Structure 1
Amino acid sequence: MNMQTQSVMAPPTPRSIQEMKLPVVMMRDILLKTIFRKNMDMASEISAAICLPIPVTQQLIDMARDQKLLEATGTLNANNGNEMGYQLTDAGKARALDALSQSEYFGAMPVPLEVYRDQIERQSIKNISITRDQLTNAMGHLVLPGELLDHLGPAVSAGRSILMYGPPGNGKSSISNGIRDALGDKVYVPRAIEYSGQVITVYDPMVHSKAEEQKDDPNALRRNANRYDTRYVRCERPTVVTGGELTLNMLDLVYNPNAKTYQAPLQLKSTGGIFIVDDLGRQSESPQALINRWIVPLEESKDILALQSGEKFEVPFDTLVIFSTNFHPNEIFDKAALRRIFFKIKIDGPDQENFLKIFAMVARNKGVPLEESALIHLLKVKYPTIDNVYANYQPVFLIDQMIAICEFEGIPYQMTPELIDRAWANMFVKDEVIVK
């Protein structure tokens, strides 16, 4: 299935309280807390706040009225289509305060974990089939050998774990970002999920990039745009990037003792997308310990999380995990751990031909004219001093250095052997003893 031409099936809108599959008392209490915290009185306002259709919201309002927790104000609001107004009774306020003392959560109704599982299947990362053209276009800003795409394409399409390794500065992070850009389609992220009566917030604007809402054709007979369960947010496939700061406890549920709610861990927020562990081997935890934490998710497509009570439960694990390291895999993993990582791809520095292609492309993009004598000086004089070891970061570094020098000297952008020497001097630090 080509995910760039075929849309993910949206979560259907619930049509009744029964279809919600949430505890009735929980729904009623979230309704009361939302009315209390947001000081709302119109069903349409309340509906938008709790992210439910107006008919379902009205069922909850009627239930709360039957329990003498809400009452009609007896006035119609002309500014809101002559809607009936509602307010909390004294018993309703007492119940809202009591519910807030148990959990501060209010607003969007959570999606039961079991219902969310169905949506994860509809938008699984494993449904993606990426073509060579899509991957090439997403990597258009990089000069990559053809055999690298031969390895990357099947790895991404399989939706399995990938280990990229090789010398620093050769674009492992850029390749990870290119894979993310190649995905291209949209998924539905729940604002919050519910398990065992507990609320776990998932949607995070720092992680999830909200997609533009679709527009209806005003001449169409049927209006279909944006008709989905608004307890979800339509987003780009998520990408979580972690580096040396990653610790094992960042993969656990985060409990807020004041709000008495949970926040989803990073890997749950990345469901349907990519989780990038950059600079593996630079974390305070050992790479072996980190990979051991991922063994069950990677092998069984499920993760185990724990509530404050100690109760453990399963959540789907539907994420393309990309590990990136400057170390050789045999230095940081045992053989059992390496078996768990499905694809292992070496990212080497460019050969001289590809280095020159990158150098020319960067110079053109930055408006620096190429100069043959400077290039000969770079290749024949400077690179032999480091055994002709080329890296993808070097063209950008050297050209940015020359630009900075030209701007300081007040001369047009140019490339000369002298400027190459000055730029080169900043790329490496000479080994020497500093007298203290």
Structure 2
Amino acid sequence: MEKAGINESILEAIMYRFLLTAGESEGRKIADQVKVPFRLVEPILTRMKMEQNIAYKNATATNDYVYILTETGRQIARNHASDCTYFGACPVRLEDYIKSVRYQTIEGQYPKKADLVRAFSDLLINPKMLNRLGPAIASGRGMFLFGFPGNGKTSIAERVTGAFGKYIWIPRSVDIDGDVLRVFDPMNHVLAMPEENTGLLDIGGFDKRWVRIERPTIIAGGELTMEMLEVLCNSDTNISESPLQLKSNCGTLVIDDFGRQKMRVDELLNRWIIPLEKRYDFLNMASGKKIQVPFDQLVIFSTNLEPKDLVDDAFLRRIPYKIEVENPPEQDFRKLFEIMCRITKVPYNADAIDYLIKTHYLPVGRPFRNCQPRDLLLQVRNFCLYNDLEVELKNEYFDFACDNYFSVM
């Protein structure tokens, strides 16, 4: 138990709570529930049986027993449930989680140009932009992506993690002196478990208290509040939920549309000014205990505003890279139409694109935006489908699309 980093008293409490909820269970199902090998669970079940806190309901064909709680065992289980209702995977030690983050950190990986080309393979990225992004991503620290809306800041930010290793291992939950802190979040983490061996934690197997996930990319937009950056404890269950920055460790945390959050910008800056520099954070548990955890992710602030208009010099210094996502040149704009025509299944027509640019862009000094080819093509496609016309690019179709799209721009 000690070698595996398992707290036996916590494991036993989880087993009691599970039996209280399930009513009855085979020993191996209990082991599977707590994600601990049966050979480690079985001695605890034997002791609980000797203490007359559980009993055999019947034997199984697999040389196992179906266990039920006795009356005294049920009272013990209720006492454990009053402290906390958690009956999932046995938590791992905080120190083991911290070691895992250090081992899988993005800092020091230094992805190369080929890694970035692969990560952005489905985007049209100007070589100049790629050369600016490369060192910023390789630093593993933080960056501002700023510029006009519609030029792909969020699309770029979402793909940055792909330049690093594909998978990491995280614990399902962490033990904080008896408090349970959930780390794995199926809403934000993409499970990518390897093939299992036939045995339970056989040689070459893995500790099932841990899960393999795709290296995380977590995005928080205008809904971001200070509460999302702190440990949230459910007062009914006494189970704590990790904040966004901890869930994004070893990956990327994108603060999208920075400057338009529900929380004030200065609140966020004050909360993160030290973690961004020191790469560790302090979290307060519901019990009052304060813990130090890694702050190990690439933080990307994506904004339509100028960074200097949002934050002070002290904060700007801690975000070493400020990259403007500029309007595409005409050559790239035309290329985007070729790409998006394939995606939207609208036949490409170079003459119609020439007409669009010479009629609706150049005479009025309208800037190109990366989002516009897709948006205009969808307008044309929907116009054709509604009017039962062949889907194609014609000058008059672009006139209609532009009248709609640019009417208030």
Deviation at 1:22, TM superposition (A): 5.0
CA distance in 1, matches of 2:408, 2:26: 71
Q: For residues 143 and 89 of structure 1, do their structure 2 counterparts lie closer, same or farther at Cα, with a shift above 3 Å needed?
A: same
Which stretch of structure 1 is more off in the superposition, 144-153 or 256-265?
A: 144-153
2:151 is matched with which residue?
A: 170
**Contact 2:97–2:170, Cα closer than 8 Å, also in 1:** no
**TM-score if structure 2 supplies the norm length?**
0.93
CA distance in 2, matches of 1:196, 1:60: 21
1:61 is matched with which residue?
A: 45
**Contact 1:170–1:391, Cα closer than 8 Å, also in 2:** yes
2:121 is matched with which residue?
A: 140
Deviation at 1:308, TM superposition (A): 2.4
Residue among 239, 249, 254 paired with 2:217: 239
CA distance in 1, matches of 2:86, 2:302: 37
Which stretch of structure 1 is more off in the superposition, 309-318 or 187-196?
A: 309-318
2:376 is matched with which residue?
A: 398
Residue among 21, 46, 50 paired with 1:37: 21
Q: For residues 116 and 59 of structure 1, do their structure 2 counterparts lie closer, same or farther at Cα, with a shift above 3 Å needed?
A: farther
CA distance in 1, matches of 2:203, 2:380: 55
Residue among 70, 77, 82 paired with 2:60: 77
Residue among 239, 252, 260 paired with 1:274: 252
* Residue identity in the other structure for 1:77: T
RMSD: 2.1
- Post-superposition Cα deviations, 1:9-64, rounded to whole Å, max 9, x if no partner, equal xxxxxxxx223545443222112111221234422111101110111112322343
Answering whether residue 352 of structure 2 is matched by residue 369 of structure 1, we say no
Residue among 168, 171, 194 paired with 2:175: 194
* Residue identity in the other structure for 1:37: T
Within a 5 Å distance, the mapping from 1:254-273 to structure 2 comes to: 254-273=232-251
* Residue identity in the other structure for 1:161: G
2:296 is matched with which residue?
A: 318
Residue among 325, 328, 333 paired with 2:306: 328
Report the secondary structure of 2:223's partner residue: coil
Report the secondary structure of 1:64's partner residue: helix
CA distance in 2, matches of 1:21, 1:130: 33
Deviation at 1:160, TM superposition (A): 1.1
Aligned residues: 406
Q: For residues 372 and 127 of structure 1, do their structure 2 counterparts lie closer, same or farther at Cα, with a shift above 3 Å needed?
A: closer
CA distance in 1, matches of 2:76, 2:281: 36
CA distance in 2, matches of 1:134, 1:18: 40
2:401 is matched with which residue?
A: 423
Deviation at 1:351, TM superposition (A): 0.9
Deviation at 1:212, TM superposition (A): 4.2
Report the secondary structure of 2:405's partner residue: coil
Report the secondary structure of 1:291's partner residue: helix
Q: For residues 20 and 224 of structure 1, do their structure 2 counterparts lie closer, same or farther at Cα, with a shift above 3 Å needed?
A: closer
Within a 5 Å distance, the mapping from 1:148-227 to structure 2 comes to: 148-214=129-195, 227=205
Deviation at 1:395, TM superposition (A): 0.6
Unmatched 5+ residue regions in structure 2? none
**Contact 2:161–2:252, Cα closer than 8 Å, also in 1:** yes
Report the secondary structure of 1:48's partner residue: helix
CA distance in 2, matches of 1:24, 1:416: 72
Q: For residues 413 and 26 of structure 1, do their structure 2 counterparts lie closer, same or farther at Cα, with a shift above 3 Å needed?
A: same
Deviation at 1:278, TM superposition (A): 0.5
* Residue identity in the other structure for 1:76: A
Which stretch of structure 1 is more off in the superposition, 59-68 or 32-41?
A: 59-68
**Contact 2:24–2:69, Cα closer than 8 Å, also in 1:** no
**Contact 1:135–1:178, Cα closer than 8 Å, also in 2:** no
**TM-score if structure 1 supplies the norm length?**
0.87
Answering whether residue 286 of structure 2 is matched by residue 308 of structure 1, we say yes
